[in-house]
Structure 1
Amino acid sequence: MALSALNALNADQYMALSALNALSQDVSLSKMALSSLNALSANQSMALSALNALNAPS
């Protein structure tokens, strides 16, 4: 389940990065896309930490 969540975040992050590339000509929209990408990166880091905790031996 955690791995599925991480994969979903990867897909969202890729979409946000694609949007950022497409919007690179518009500074204000690029800043919004970059903020979204940073938020997704933070969520991805949290999901990865949770996955690592699940993998840790008890």
Structure 2
Amino acid sequence: MCGEPLLNGEEIETHHIVPVAIGGTDDEYNLQHVHLACHKQVHSKTKTQSQKAGS
């Protein structure tokens, strides 16, 4: 996601490409390993966008 090497010493998280809440699964094709900071950034953008849509 960020373009940095995945194994650079940062903590790694598993991200659902299609969120489980909207029908995504735990199948391999729907999972992506990302840095913890990148994972947090993706989810903060998702919350911001959904808050704007609900306004």
Normalised to the residue count of structure 2, the TM-score between the two structures is 0.41
More helix, by proportion: 1
Higher relative contact order (CA 8 A, sep 6+): 1
More strand, by proportion: 2
Task: Tell which structure's C-alpha radius of gyration is larger.
Answer: 1
Normalised to the residue count of structure 1, the TM-score between the two structures is 0.39
